Amino acid sequence: MRTHAQAVVIGGGVIGCSILYHLTKLGWSDVVLLERSELTSGSTWHAAANIHGLHDSTNISRIQHYTMNLYNELEAETGQSCGVFQPGSLYLAQTENREHQLRLQAAKAKLYGMNFYEVDRAEAERLHPLVNYDGIRCIMYEPDGGNVDPSGVTNAYATGARQRGAEIHRFTPATGTEQQPDGSWIVRTDKGDIHTQWVVNAAGLWGREVAAMAGLTLPLQPTEHQYFVTETIAEIAAMDRRLPSVADRDGEYYLRQEGKGLLVGAYEQNMKFWAEDGTPQGFGHELFADDLERIEENMLRAIDRVPAVGTAGIKRVINGPMIWSPDSNVLFGPVPELHNYFCCNGIIPGFSQSGGMGLLAAEWMIEGETKYDMFAWDMARFGAWADKAFTKAKVREVYSHRFAIHFPNEERPAGRPVRVRPVYEMQKTMGAVFGLNYGWEHPLWFADTPGTVDTNGFTRQNWWGPVGEECKMLRERAGIIDISNFAKYVCKGPDAEGWLNSVFANNMPKAIGRSCLTPLIGKRGGIAGDFTVTRLAEDEFWIIGSGMAERYHRRFFGAVPLPEGTTFESVTEAVCGFNVAGPKARDLLQRLTNTSLATVDFPFMRSARIEMAGVDLVALRVSFTGDLGWELHCGEADQKRLYEALLEAGKPLGAGPVGGRALMSLRVEKGYGSWSREYSPEYWPQEVALDRLVKLDKDFLNKAAVAEVMKNPAREQLVLLALDGSDTDASNADATGGEPIFHNGKGVGRVTSGAYGYWVGMSLALGYVKGVAPGAEVEVMVLGKPHRARILSEPPFDPKGEKLRA
C-alpha cells in the first residue's frame, strides 16, 4: 500500500469510485481509495439505479446529462459493462402546475440542446402501451433516460481509475484522519498510514462517522427506502424492446421495466428514519424487512396508472438505507474550517449524478474551483445551526415531498425556527411571513392577519398584492426593512487596510467614513462575492456581504494569511440591522438622531457611528432599494428598541415595515444584481458591469486569473428586460429565474432574477444574453411559454441615481 498520496478517498460506493476515476482523468495518478468491505457495500449495491437528465436547476441538469452520456463511454474505455439501458423516460403531468414545470423544463432543454420534448398521447401509447393516460394533461419524453447496473458502474469507475494508476484497497477501513501542522493529513488504517494532501469523505451511509474522525459534524440522517419488482408480465415478455421508465411524480412513485417485469419504488408520507444515533459499523450487505403497507397508497396510484402492476405477483422487495441532507442535495466541497478535507455526502440520485459529481470534485481539488457555480450543492450552505433536530425535521419533509414540485419562492416549514432575532415575536404579531436565510428567520412580507402563510404556485400568489403595497409605501414615503440576515464582518488592526486590499479587488477606502463596493474574485477569475466595505476608523473596517454565503466566503478569507496584530471576525450573530429607505427616510430618521443627515453632512456612500433613539449604531448611507436610504447596524440587544423607535417615527409619515420580497422587486427595478443569482464565480467582471471595481494595478486574491479573463470580450451580458404581461392580473406569472430567452427562435440567454416592478408597472427580469442589444425584442419562456420582452437600455427606476444621492 502507498504511504504517500495526493488524495485518499474514503468509501468505495459509486460516488467514491467516480471521484477516484475523475481525479485520475484530470491528471492525479497518485491517489488511493479505501473501502471497509467490498466495493458497493453501502447504499450502492441495492439501488434501483434509474437515470434522469432533467432537473429544476440548470447546472444540476448539465451534470446529469454528462453522467448519462458517460456510462457508455466508460464501458468502451474499461471493457466493464455498466448494464446501461436507455429506453427513455416518459414524464406525466396530472396537474396544471406539473404542466407548467414540465413545459419550463422543455424550454430549458431546447436552450441547452438537451433531448427532452413533448409527445402526444398516441406516441406515448406507442412508447409505453401499459400506461393508462387518462387524466394526463401533458407528456414529455427524454430519450436518454433509463437505468444502469449499480455494481457494473461502480466497478467500471474503479477499473478506469486503476488503469490510470490509482490504488484501491478493499477490506481496509480508514480508522482515523489527522490533520498535520503543515495542513496535510495522515489517514490511518490497519494496514498502515497514508500521508496525503487531500482527504475525501465519500463514506455514504457512514459519512457522519468518517466526518467525526476529523472532528466534524455533518447534517445527515438515513432513512429506509423501498421498491419492489413484479413477476414476469406477459405483455412485456412478448415485446422485442424495452419499455421507457415512467415518471408520474404527481403519483409519488417511480416505475420502470426490470427483467420481464416492472419495478416500482415510492417515497411515502409515512417515512421511517434509520440509525438516528449513528450507522452501525458492522452493517454490511443487508436489507430491512419488507414493509409494503407503508407504501400502499403510492402502490395503488401506480396500479391505477399501470394496471399490469396490480395483476402481476411481487417477486422481490428491496428495503434499504439511504442517507439525506436537510434539503436532499449533496453536501459537497472542501470544509471551509479545515484544510483540504473534501466532503461528498448525502447523495440521493447517485446514479443520475455520479459522473458530474466526480468530475466537479476533481476540478475543485485539482484546479481550485468547479467550472459551474455549484452553490446549491456546497456544504457551506449549512452551518452549525443545522443541528440534529433541524436535520431530522427537514429530512422527513424532503423525503415525503421527494416528487412534490418545489415552487419558485416556496419556503417549506419543517424544523423552523432555528435562528431568530429579538424582534421575531414582534414581527410575527405584525403579520410577518418568514423565509429562511442561512438559518435565520427573516420577514418576506407582512400580511394583514398574523399567522398567514404563503400560497405556492408558478403564477402570482397571495403575497403578490401586499408586496406591491409595501413597495408603493417605500417608494412614495419610506419603509423599514430588516436586514439582520446580511453577513457582517469587522477587520481591525494596523494592517487591516493592507489585508483587505490583498483580499478584495477594489481599492479600500482611504478616508474614515467612506465606503466602497468591491467584488471578491474566484479561482477562475469570476465573481465569488460582492461586498460593501466601510472604513470606520484608521484601523477598523466593516464588511457587509451576502448572508447565505457567509460560510462559503470563509474559504476565500482563509486563503490570505492575516498579518500579526490584525483580526478579522464575523459579527453577524452579534449585530442586527435595518434599512430605512424611501423619499421620507431622512425625515423619519432625523426625528431620532441629533446627527445631521442632510446630504452635505451625510452624503451617499458615507458612514458614521451615531446615536439614534438612544442606541449606538453604525449608519451607512447605502440602500439596495435604489432609493434614498440608510443601513443601520446595532448590537442585538438594542434591536427591539431601535425597531420600535423606527416604527413609531414612521407612523406619522405613513411609513412601516417592508419585507424581503419587496426588496427583491425594488432592486430589480434599479437593475441591481444579487449574489448567487446575477453574481457567481461563473461570470466575469465585464459581464456583470463590475469590471470598473477591479483594480489591476494592485495585488489581490486571484488577480492573475481575473487579469487573464478580463483580456477577453464578455461572453454574455447582464441585462434588464421588461416583459409583456405588465398588467396586475393575479393569474399572470412573472419570471422567477432560470427561464430561457429566445430571439427569432434561437436561444440567446436565461433569466437570473424576475420580479414585478410595482412602482414602474412592469414585469421585469434580469438575465444573461449574448448577441442581442438593448432595444431588441426577445421571448422569455415564463411557464415554458413565450412571453414577449424588450431589453432595456437603462433601469426604469432612477437611472441616473438622483434619488439615491438626494
Task: Give the residues lining the site for ligand FAD (CB under 6 A).
Answer: 10-16, 34-37, 41-44, 46-50, 173-174, 202-206, 210, 225, 227, 318, 320-322, 347-352
Q: Please tell me the distance from the alpha carbon of residue 155 to that of residue 158, in angstroms, as a whole number.
A: 5
Grid cell 419603509 in the structure block, residue: 479
Residue pair 428/439 in contact by the 8 Å Cβ criterion: no
Q: How far is the CB of 294 from ligand FAD (least distance, A)?
A: 13
Q: Please tell me the distance from the alpha carbon of residue 47 to that of residue 154, in angstroms, as a whole number.
A: 12
Burial 284-295 (b: 16+ CB within 10 A, else e): eeeeeeeeeebb
Q: How far is the CB of 116 from ligand FAD (least distance, A)?
A: 18
Nearer to ligand FAD among residue 322 and residue 694 (C-beta): 322
Nearer to ligand FAD among residue 187 and residue 666 (C-beta): 187
Nearer to ligand FAD among residue 347 and residue 646 (C-beta): 347
Report helix, strand or coil for 328. Answer: coil
Nearer to ligand FAD among residue 11 and residue 443 (C-beta): 11
Q: How far is the CB of 32 from ligand FAD (least distance, A)?
A: 11
- Helix (H) or strand (E) holding 71, with range, is helix 58-78
Nearer to ligand FAD among residue 137 and residue 285 (C-beta): 285
Residue pair 622/667 in contact by the 8 Å Cβ criterion: no
User: Which amino acid appears at position 577 of this protein?
Assistant: G
Residues in the chain: 806
Q: How far is the CB of 283 from ligand FAD (least distance, A)?
A: 9
Q: How far is the CB of 172 from ligand FAD (least distance, A)?
A: 7
Q: How far is the CB of 201 from ligand FAD (least distance, A)?
A: 9
Q: Please tell me the distance from the alpha carbon of residue 520 to that of residue 500, in angstroms, as a whole number.
A: 10
Residue pair 568/562 in contact by the 8 Å Cβ criterion: yes
Q: How far is the CB of 151 from ligand FAD (least distance, A)?
A: 11
Sign, Cα dihedral of 347, 351, 356, 359: positive
Nearer to ligand FAD among residue 14 and residue 662 (C-beta): 14
Q: How far is the CB of 10 from ligand FAD (least distance, A)?
A: 5
Residue pair 147/49 in contact by the 8 Å Cβ criterion: yes
Q: How far is the CB of 211 from ligand FAD (least distance, A)?
A: 10
Nearer to ligand FAD among residue 187 and residue 508 (C-beta): 187
Q: How far is the CB of 52 from ligand FAD (least distance, A)?
A: 8
DSSP 508: P
Q: Please tell me the distance from the alpha carbon of residue 490 to that of residue 499, in angstroms, as a whole number.
A: 12
Q: Please tell me the distance from the alpha carbon of residue 246 to that of residue 255, in angstroms, as a whole number.
A: 5
Neighbours of 777 (CB within 10 A): 12
Burial 697-708 (b: 16+ CB within 10 A, else e): eeebbbbebbee
Residue pair 205/42 in contact by the 8 Å Cβ criterion: yes
Q: Please tell me the distance from the alpha carbon of residue 665 to that of residue 667, in angstroms, as a whole number.
A: 6
Q: How far is the CB of 124 from ligand FAD (least distance, A)?
A: 22
Nearer to ligand FAD among residue 351 and residue 700 (C-beta): 351
Q: How far is the CB of 226 from ligand FAD (least distance, A)?
A: 6
Report helix, strand or coil for 457. Answer: coil
Grid cell 435604489 in the structure block, residue: 626
Nearer to ligand FAD among residue 14 and residue 161 (C-beta): 14
> Helix crossing, 58-78 with 150-163: angle to 10°?
70
Nearer to ligand FAD among residue 150 and residue 671 (C-beta): 150
Report helix, strand or coil for 746. Answer: strand
Nearer to ligand FAD among residue 174 and residue 528 (C-beta): 174
Q: Please tell me the distance from the alpha carbon of residue 541 to that of residue 513, in angstroms, as a whole number.
A: 10
Q: How deeply is 575 buried, as exposed, middle or buried, from its count of CB atoms within 10 A (0-12, 13-18, 19+)? A: buried
Residue pair 187/8 in contact by the 8 Å Cβ criterion: yes
Nearer to ligand FAD among residue 350 and residue 457 (C-beta): 350
Nearer to ligand FAD among residue 151 and residue 732 (C-beta): 151
Nearer to ligand FAD among residue 227 and residue 684 (C-beta): 227
Q: How far is the CB of 190 from ligand FAD (least distance, A)?
A: 11
Which residue, among 508, 480, 479, has the nearest Cα to 496 in the 3D structure?
Answer: 508
Residue pair 143/53 in contact by the 8 Å Cβ criterion: no
Q: Please tell me the distance from the alpha carbon of residue 471 to that of residue 50, in angstroms, as a whole number.
A: 46
Grid cell 464582518 in the structure block, residue: 489
Strands (DSSP E) found in 308-395: 314-324, 331-334, 341-345
Q: Please tell me the distance from the alpha carbon of residue 782 to that of residue 662, in angstroms, as a whole number.
A: 20
Q: Please tell me the distance from the alpha carbon of residue 592 to that of residue 558, in angstroms, as a whole number.
A: 40
Residue pair 480/655 in contact by the 8 Å Cβ criterion: yes
Grid cell 488511493 in the structure block, residue: 32
Residue pair 419/249 in contact by the 8 Å Cβ criterion: no
Grid cell 496535510 in the structure block, residue: 184
Nearer to ligand FAD among residue 34 and residue 655 (C-beta): 34
Nearer to ligand FAD among residue 174 and residue 500 (C-beta): 174
Q: How far is the CB of 200 from ligand FAD (least distance, A)?
A: 11
Q: Please tell me the distance from the alpha carbon of residue 359 to that of residue 15, in angstroms, as a whole number.
A: 11
Nearer to ligand FAD among residue 116 and residue 758 (C-beta): 116
Q: How far is the CB of 154 from ligand FAD (least distance, A)?
A: 8
Q: How far is the CB of 145 from ligand FAD (least distance, A)?
A: 11
Q: How far is the CB of 107 from ligand FAD (least distance, A)?
A: 25
Nearer to ligand FAD among residue 43 and residue 518 (C-beta): 43
Strand 245-248 relative to strand 89-93, pairing: parallel
Q: How far is the CB of 268 from ligand FAD (least distance, A)?
A: 12
User: Which amino acid appears at position 379 of this protein?
Assistant: M
